[in-house]
Amino acid sequence: MSNRRDFLKYSGLLAGGVLVSKSLTACGNGGGRASSKGLTLRFEPYDLKLKHVFTLASSSRTTTPVMLIELEYDGVIGYGEASMPPYLGESHETATKFLSGLNLHQFTDPFLMDDILAYVENSAPGNYAAKASVDIALHDLVGKLIGQPWFKMWGLNRNKTPETSYTIGIDTPEVVKDKVREAAPYNILKVKLGRGNDKEMINTIRSVTDKPLCVDVNQGWKDKQMALDMIHWLREQGIVFVEQPMSKYAIDDMAWLTENSPLPTIADEALQTVKDVLPLKGVYSGINIKLMKCGGLSAAHKMANMARIMGMKVMIGCMTETSCAVSAAAQLSPLVDWADLDGNLLISNDVFQGVTIESGKVTLNDKPGIGISKI
Ligand code: MG
């Protein structure tokens, strides 16, 4: 064990020298020196560069702010990440404030995960991405201390990982065609709709590929009858499911749409964390779990099991993220029907390597924790 720890300590510190600059902030122990007595948290703001301008129904952007964090115990380092697309309300500033306020050094046993995560959860309302970064780092740390990846500790079968979808944003027909060609390694494509040119988008994509498609409307449809008519049309075009077709507040309209829809409807913006799952029974066919929305792997694991018990479909998604948060989410992927874990594939400055996509399928490795190493 001590040899393994020494190796992890060495590799972690060496990699830390590359990624984590001298400006990296330590908190929770009143200084920058790691101690073997308690958990030491460090964090650094970072901006992810998108390969393409990313357009949703309501906004466009070329970068996404993230916070990269390290949680160290006895020389072993767990990595975590908060991804904070602006429309969700978190930022480098809010995450810095939240993380600076945590005193994780009080915890001298990282295996007391429930206690540690309850403390993090109760330390301030909201801040789900920042909370997720600590949860992910703690899972990575504990997995490394035990020497196993989380999918194994949860008893999941790596052969049951789903295919992952590759997202095609709203754009001009020529750019859309280019993106479809780029997506050649993927067997299912996710198409963003809801900007008033939905049929044009689908027809453009169908002119270059007959792969299965799923669509994400990001609350863009305003009328339930129009939504149902569109879903019937989409079904004829080989669409697999429809994500967040209407406003998250249109609960009665969504229940009607789900009851009448020939395709499964998936809640995304309509849910945040564990407590939101139960009320969605009968309103949507399934849920899209994202670590940055729900606060991390602990909540995500509970949500996936709840949805399964309720007979709902489960999808695991992501934000624009490095391979850190994507690989963490991938640990859960054998539990889900569909994965949308392409966030790391859409950026040009990833700083980790972890889960890979092989023949379109999420492919887990044997690395302990969340299965990543620094580039
Ligand atoms: Mg979505």
CATH 3.30.390.10 domain extents, the chain: 3-47+65-150
> 266: CA distance to ligand 1 center in Å?
9
For residue 198, give the nearest of 240, 242, 160 by alpha carbon: 242
pTM across the whole model: 0.88
Q: Would you state the pLDDT for residue 179? A: 86
What pLDDT, on the 0 to 100 scale, is given for residue 178? 86
- The mean per-residue pLDDT over the stretch 38-60 comes to 84
- Check pLDDT > 90 for residue 240: yes
CA 351 from centre of chain: 16
Residue 94 has pLDDT above 70, yes or no: yes
pLDDT-wise least confident of 135-144, 191-200, 315-324? 191-200
Start and end residues for every CATH 3.20.20.120 domain found in the chain: 152-374
Distance 216 CA to ligand 1 centre (A): 6
d(CA 88, CA 5): 38
Q: What spacing in Å lies between the alpha carbon of 58 and ligand 1's midpoint?
A: 12
**Is the model's pLDDT at 359 over the cut of 50?**
yes
Amino acid identity of residue 266, one-letter, is I
Q: Is the pLDDT of residue 242 over 70?
A: yes
CA of 245 to the centre of ligand 1 (A): 10
Distance 15 CA to ligand 1 centre (A): 33
- Region 105-122: mean pLDDT is 98
| pLDDT 10s digits, 147-174 | 999 999 999 999 999 999 988 877 788 8
**pLDDT average, residue stretch 298-312:** 97
Pick the more confident residue, 11 or 237.
Answer: 237
* 92 Cα: distance to centroid of ligand 1 (angstroms): 23
Distance 192 CA to ligand 1 centre (A): 8
Residue 21 has pLDDT above 50, yes or no: no
**Residue 355 carries which side chain, given as an amino acid letter?**
V
What class does CATH assign to 152-374? alpha beta
SS3 78: strand
Distance 319 CA to ligand 1 centre (A): 9
Q: What Rg value do the Cα atoms of the chain yield, rounded?
A: 20
* pLDDT at residue 192 is higher than 70: yes
Q: How far is the CA of 33 from the centre of ligand 1 (A)?
A: 40
Tally the C-alpha atoms within 13 A of residue 164's C-alpha that lie toward its C-beta. 30
pLDDT computed for residue 88 by the predictor: 87
Minimal CA–CA distance to 301: which of 117, 35, 105?
Answer: 117
Cα 108 to averaged position of ligand 1 atoms, centre (Å): 38
CA of 218 to the centre of ligand 1 (A): 6
Q: What homologous superfamily is domain 3-47+65-150 in, according to CATH?
A: Enolase-like, N-terminal domain (3.30.390.10)
Quote the Cα angle for 87-89-92, to 5°: 110
Q: Ligand 1 mean position to 103 CA, how many Å?
A: 34
Q: Using DSSP, state whether 237 is helix, strand or coil.
A: coil
Nearest CA to 339 among 240, 233, 234, 227? Answer: 240
pLDDT at 79 over 80: yes
What pLDDT is attached to residue 23? Answer: 44
Give distance in angstroms: CA of 43 to centre of ligand 1. Answer: 28
The predicted-structure confidence for 256-288, as pLDDT tens digits, reads as follows 999 999 999 999 999 999 999 999 999 999 999
What size, in residues, is the chain?
A: 375
* DSSP β-ladder status, 188-192 and 165-168: parallel
> Would the pLDDT of 341 be above 60?
yes
Query: Rounded to whole angstroms, how far apart are CA atoms 11 and 82?
Result: 23
